[in-house]
Amino acid sequence: MGNFEFFKPESLEEALRLASQFSNRVRFAAGCTNLLPDIHSGKLQDCVFVDISDLKELKGIKKENGTISLGACTTISELYQSDLLKNEAPILYQAAFYFADPVVRNRATLGGNLAYASPASDMSVPLMVLDAVVFSRSIERGAREIPLSDFFLAPGKNALFSSEIILEIRFPIPSGFRFFYSKLGKRNAMAISIASLGMGLKVGEVIEDARIALGALAPTPLRASRTEGFLTGKPPVAEVFQESSEILLSEINPISDIRGSREYRLEATKALFLRGFSQILSNRGGKDE
């Protein structure tokens, strides 16, 4: 076993002081669904664990002034059980439903899923579609706002400084969008994504706004900005969708691994993308999703 220390602060201020004191050695612990496997595998050897799981300042789902805020220590189960998210942000609600299994959903936290910075992070894709922003804080740098599209730097690396804590994730309540989300894995429960795709479209006579995010298809989760730009202002017709699908494939860089080959991921992404358009357009006359 490695050299570990453990602290359980009673307030956010105490947690911030501990983070500042131990700096590069600190690891924040909440659900521990990623930390424990890393300890057992030997990936973590010399750490100071600061348990933030019971800090009330980091919990909860709130709606205020046209914005939804999600505490960093809110569990994935709490996201799935939220009627507010089901009604106002169904793409996030749906992604929470497909996240791992009930046991893991009850432990895993939203902030932890994002901070781990896996290329296949399930929560990053719907939150990017929702234009989410990470709100963080440290003693050294104070409060910061980091757009989620800028948060992921490399596999396992995010934009946080070592003593910085994610406080909450916020996004504006979407209006007029229709959403699609799909996660492709080898099995439903506990599957790490082979590919995941989220899409939000605002469609009238033309595509007025387009948001597209992808996971497990590049070194980090990403927004398909070139595809979004191409689609905006275009008519929602088959030729446009086909052309935009080729642009989308140029924005990703999937690898081959034990879960699927690069070629399979490329074909699967195109199929998910076109399916998303079909589903969104087929529901244009109904209630917003």
β-strand 67-71 against 46-51: which pairing, if any?
unpaired
Residue 246 has pLDDT above 60, yes or no: yes
DSSP state string for 78-139? HHHT-HHHHHH-HHHHHHHHTSS-HHHHHH-BHHHHHHTT-TT-TTHHHHHHTT-EEEEEET
Residue 156 has pLDDT above 80, yes or no: yes
- Sheet (strand 195-203) strand order: 178-184, 195-203, 207-215, 222-223
Q: What is the token pair recorded at 271?
A: 């199929």
Which has the higher per-residue pLDDT, 25 or 283? 25
Domains and CATH numbers, the chain: 3-51 (3.30.43), 56-172 (3.30.465.10), 178-282 (3.30.390.50)
Q: What is the pLDDT of residue 186?
A: 65
Q: What is the pLDDT of residue 126?
A: 98
How far apart are alpha carbons 261 and 264 in whole angstroms?
5
CA proximity to 227, closest of 204, 205, 249, 260: 249
Instruction: Work out the percent of the chain whose per-residue pLDDT is above 70.
Output: 95
Q: What is the pLDDT of residues 15-26, one digit of tens each?
A: 999 999 998 888
How far apart are alpha carbons 187 and 191 in whole angstroms?
6
Q: What is the pLDDT of residue 286?
A: 37
Lowest-pLDDT range of 104-113, 122-131, 210-219: 104-113
What average pLDDT score do residues 94-107 get?
90
Query: For the chain, first and last CA: distance in Å?
Result: 49
Lowest-pLDDT range of 1-5, 121-125, 127-131, 212-216: 1-5
